[in-house]
Amino acid sequence: MGATRTTAFVLYPGLTPLDLVGPLQVMSVLERFAPECRAIVVGERVEPMETDAGISIVPQATFEEVPEPRVVVVPGGGSPTIRQMGNEVVLDYLRRVADRAEVVASVCTGALLLAAAGLLEGRRATTHWGYHALLERLGATYVPERWVDDPPFLTSAGVSAGIDMGLELAARVADVDRARLVQLGIEYDPRPPFGPIDWSTVDRDVLTPLAESSVRTELADRPHLQRRLLPEG
């Protein structure tokens, strides 16, 4: 058995549970096949944090207790995630761990936190389609794919895409064979009742005004961020 390979999942108030739990489940199951791989949920404080689904989740450790994970995963959400773009405790942790991590990953709008920390400048990345304009205004190049690899960054699109990203992550920290075992173990073989999304019919800008409204409300005390995220005039 090799050295422990820790994957830290960043928890903060108001995130979308599946953004966290989807890839967390993948990496937790991976531990059965690769005991050297360890998944842990970290937060600013060890206390219950509400999510946007009405349940609370408690981190297992603080940021200070997991200072050098091999991998870090940042989940997303709606307005509460926008609010966290002004949380220097979270952003400083992301900057510190990104210096040494092998992979820095995000799910959905978690990419906005990486971008707010200055980590995606000039990088190819993805996020939830409704927030792509904000991502680009922070210096990233939005790529409308399920997940995007720009080492060491591995970003994924909205919510359920985090499971896809999690399986790719499992293959990297262990190997493809064990990642396939995880996929089989969790029976990840999606067949949505209404078929796949026809992205050619989706207006990716339709939610931009809503995203900008969240910026105005949640970052009212961060004018420097507002100037970057909101169009002039």
Nearest to 74 by CA among 42, 52, 37: 42
**Catalytic residue at 108?**
yes
Q: Which element (helix H / strand E) includes 90?
A: helix 88-98
pTM flag (> 0.95): yes
- Which pLDDT belongs to residue 222? 96
Q: In a 10 Å sphere around its CB, with 0-12 CB exposed, 13-18 middle and 19+ buried, how is residue 185 labelled?
A: middle
- The CB density around residue 183, as the number of other CB atoms within 10 Å, is 19
Whether residue 229 has pLDDT greater than 60: yes
Are the C-beta atoms of 11 and 42 separated by less than 8 Å?
yes
Are the C-beta atoms of 9 and 75 separated by less than 8 Å?
yes
- The residue-averaged pLDDT of 39-54 equals 98
Catalytic one of 108, 116, 157, 169: 108
Are the C-beta atoms of 120 and 140 separated by less than 8 Å?
yes
Whether residue 99 has pLDDT greater than 70: yes
Q: Which element (helix H / strand E) includes 40?
A: strand 37-43
- The residue-averaged pLDDT of 24-33 equals 98
- Which pLDDT belongs to residue 173? 95
Backbone angles phi, psi at 43, to 5 degrees: -155, 175
Q: How confident is the model at residue 233 (pLDDT cuts 50, 70, 90)?
A: low
Whether residue 1 has pLDDT greater than 50: no
Give, in order, the Cα–Cα distances in Å from 199 to each of 120, 121, 136, 144: 25, 26, 19, 10
- Which pLDDT belongs to residue 12? 98
Nearest to 85 by CA among 185, 202, 209, 223: 223
Q: How confident is the model at residue 232 (pLDDT cuts 50, 70, 90)?
A: confident
Kindly state the percentage of the chain with pLDDT values over 70: 99
- Residue 213 gets which letter from DSSP? H
- Which pLDDT belongs to residue 153? 98
